[in-house]
Chain A
Amino acid sequence: MTSEGVPGSTQSAHATAGADGAPAVSLAGLTRHFGERTVLRDLSLELGRGQTLAVLGRNGAGKSTLLRILATLLRPHAGTITLLGEQLPRRAWAVRGRIGLLGHEPLLYRDLTGRENLTYHARLHRVAPRRIEKLLSAVGMEARADDPVRCLSRGMVQRLAVARAVLHRPSLLLLDEPRSSLDPGAGELVEPLIGRISSATRVLTSHDPRAALAEADLVLALSGGRTAYLGPPSGVDETMIRKLYA
């Protein structure tokens, strides 16, 4: 596996800087352990505002852990993280309202309806109720918005989870397999909310590396918690993908 372009690298930082020069995401030496197991080791990268980072790697490579650290749900054990200009974890409170997390769990209460769930999240984020109706319509869930979440199909729950993740118009979207369980029609529905055209900075993982590469500005390939590749999508070929998922 190549680690060219891995960097610490000025080249990478330059390539990903945003218009104002300040990256949206900056990691330096990020390390995280669970017990004695090191899940992420010495990760460094910079991602510009409005850009997309695709995180690739087989199951257990550390992708979800990286997303949870960026979401401020886990603390790093070493290294520095700067998100949207704020240092984590010290200034985590300052970025929480600007992050949208769409993870494996929808973060919705099964016994509440979709509308009730979104209303609860809107109250937490101080979002006006009219935004809820707009989003329910955007994800095509107005007709089933008053059904308990436990009565909905997995794809419908995922659509509600997308609405929940973007309810507060986050500047940074953390997307862990965002299109899992979505049929092609639903995938198109959520595209304006979480796709490239959302204009948010995005960090995404996907079970489909080719689809992730197609929408990435920067690719981070993880293997055993280490950086196996960091660079532009053009540097990732089929051989590398096969090795990464072997």
Chain B
Amino acid sequence: MRTALAILRKDLLLELRTLETIPSMAMLAVITCVIFHFGLNRNALSGQLAAGVLTVTLLFASMLGINRLFVAEREQGGFDAFLLAPVDRTAMLTAKATALFVYLLVLELIAVPAFALFLAPPHLGSSLPGVILILVLSDIAFAVIGTFVSAIAVQTRARDLIGPMIGLPLLLPALIATARGLGPLLTVQASGSPPAKWLAVLGLYDLVNALLAYAVFDFLLED
């Protein structure tokens, strides 16, 4: 845990110092909202359409963060330094997934208000706790799978292609569950509580992927 904290602290410090990832993610999310606003020629969306647009917006922005997650390790020798240390290799997974989770939370602090501003879903305020719950579960899936995929992609020459090619199919169940879970929360007659079925799907998906990533991550770092 101390090792994971050391890596996490270093990653957050690097991001604060360089501001390379989170601002780009936020910018892309806001621009996507603007594009949907004008592309659909609508001032307000509701139901599954609103949920789909929000999910896709967050997905696009998340891919930027996923692609950049290990770049400093690859380009500045961070992998070698870490592999030379007598530490548990899964600390890297824990730290990177937590860093990505933090990036996603910050992204949503900007993207959700932008979504509300440009595409004004009904009753977002009253549904907000449910929306937050769904997004947090979705973020865990993005963080775990994103870290796993990014660790594979960064070791290849075509890393910008590999991330989406492997990541998107793996994220599909989480994306579907997020969109279907958000849909009822963004309707005019929203009850305010998220559908239990999709919460369970997201929760289970998070758990299974976290265990799988934990089991195989060690091998990803091996020569």
A residues sitting closer than 8 Å to B (CB atoms) are 71-75, 93, 96-97, 99, 101, 103, 105-112, 116, 120-121, 123-126, 148, 164
Contact = CB atoms under 8 A, between A and B. Distances in A.
Contacts of B82: 124
A109 to B, nearest CB: 5
Interface of B: 2-3, 6, 9-10, 13-14, 17-18, 72, 76-78, 80-87, 222-223
Contact of A112 (B2, B13, B83): B13
- 10 closest pairs, A vs B, by CB? A97-B86, A123-B6, A124-B85, A107-B77, A105-B77, A107-B81, A96-B86, A120-B10, A111-B17, A74-B223
Contact of B2 (A72, A75, A123, A164): A123
B18 to A, nearest CB: 5
Contacts of B87: 124
B86 A125 contact: yes
Given A71-B84, A72-B83, 18 more contacts: A72-B84, A75-B222, A96-B85, A105-B76, A106-B77, A107-B80, A107-B84, A109-B10, A109-B72, A109-B78, A111-B18, A111-B72, A116-B13, A121-B85, A123-B3, A123-B6, A124-B6, A124-B81
Given A74-B223, A75-B222, A123-B3, A108 B77 contact: yes
A111 B14 contact: yes
B78 to A, nearest CB: 7
B10 A112 contact: yes
Nearest to A161: B77
Contact of B84 (A74, A75, A99): A99
A107 B86 contact: no
Nearest to B15: A111
Contacts of A109: 10, 14, 72, 76, 78
Contacts of B76: 105, 107-110
Contacts of A164: 81
A63 B2 CA distance: 35
Contacts of B80: 71, 73, 101, 103, 105, 107
Most A CB contacts (10 A, CB to CB) among B2, B76, B83 go to: B76
Contacts of B78: 107, 109
A6 B72 CA distance: 42
Most A CB contacts (10 A, CB to CB) among B9, B81, B223 go to: B81
